[in-house]
Amino acid sequence: MEVFHHRREIKLRVVSLKKAGKSIGFVPTMGALHAGHISLVRHARQQNDVIVVSIFVNPTQFNNKEDLVRYPRTIDADLLLLEKEGCDFVFIPDEMEMYPEPDLRVFSFGNFDKVMEGKFRPGHFNGVAQIVTKLFDTVTPDRAYFGQKDFQQLAIIRKLASDCRYPVEIVACPIVREADGLAMSSRNTRLTPEERQHAPLIYKTLLKAQETGRSVSPESLKKAVIDSINDDPFLQVEYFEIVDDKTLQPVKSWDKPGTKIGCIAVLAGKIRLIDNITFNS
């Protein structure tokens, strides 16, 4: 496994491999790798000749300074895991490498970033777009892998890749969960033991909502989910929205065609957890 710190070096290496006909699979991460990331690497491994993983805690996507400072950083363990998974290249730039000067670009996502994460984390998706475009320009992947836990991010990155005409296939990979159902997240390690014990209620409630599904209105289902999670003293719902999977806009009725997704953000103490569930049509 080769480790790169500079954009120019990894780009040259990848370009020469592509000239030799090799396909490049890319998994962008912010490190603190867990089984969710590893599943992205394994998906990439199945479909590409060369696997590139980037590790960079991107400051421009954090709208909360404390979250950025406290974001877990476990680079030695990450490298061991990636080596074990047969990753070929790891790209670990520092901030100066990715942002030698402030990135003033402003991206437009239509209505995609006016709801949910976009509404509660202003500027977050602009920061994601800034780093993802820089990473795509550097790694020039044939395929890039993203987890479905960040459902809105996935939709925004698909739009970004298509708007900017990146010749990359965006591949969505299923959510990986702990044995008790909690969606894997680097932030889970920051939960107190008590918060960790209560956090699985999020997925349990989503499963119950999925079962109830269309027997009640989206509005009533939304209220039931929010109330039952907020009844837990360790959890506070920031939002729960039932949205169309293509437009990301909240739905008022189940009748319109298309898949509906229930997306949730919950605060467990200071830690923000997100998850989602699909409502079958």
Residue that is written with structure tokens 């890749």 in the block? 161
Nearest to 136 by CA among 24, 21, 9, 45: 24
What letter represents residue 254's amino acid?
W
Residue 128 near ligand PAF by CB under 6 A:
yes
Q: Is 37 a catalytic residue?
A: yes
Q: Out of 5, 34, 37, 43, which one is annotated catalytic?
A: 37
Nearest to 29 by CA among 73, 80, 69, 85: 73
DSSP 48: -
Residue 175 near ligand PAF by CB under 6 A:
no
Considering only 13-21, 70-78, 106-114, 125-133, which stretch makes contact with ligand PAF by CB under 6 A? 125-133
Q: Which of residues 137-156 bind ligand PAF (CB under 6 A)?
A: 150, 153
Q: Which of residues 41-80 bind ligand PAF (CB under 6 A)?
A: 58, 61
For residues 129 and 153, is the Cβ–Cβ distance under 8 A? no
A 10 A CB-CB count for 105 gives: 11
For residues 149 and 185, is the Cβ–Cβ distance under 8 A? yes
Residue 132 near ligand PAF by CB under 6 A:
yes
d(CA 162, CA 166): 6
- Looking at beta carbons only, is 153 or 188 nearer to ligand PAF? 153
Residue 27 near ligand PAF by CB under 6 A:
no
Considering only 3-11, 24-32, 63-71, 189-197, which stretch makes contact with ligand PAF by CB under 6 A? 24-32
- Site residues for ligand PAF per CB under 6 A: 28-30, 58, 61, 128, 131-132, 150, 153
Catalytic residue set: 37
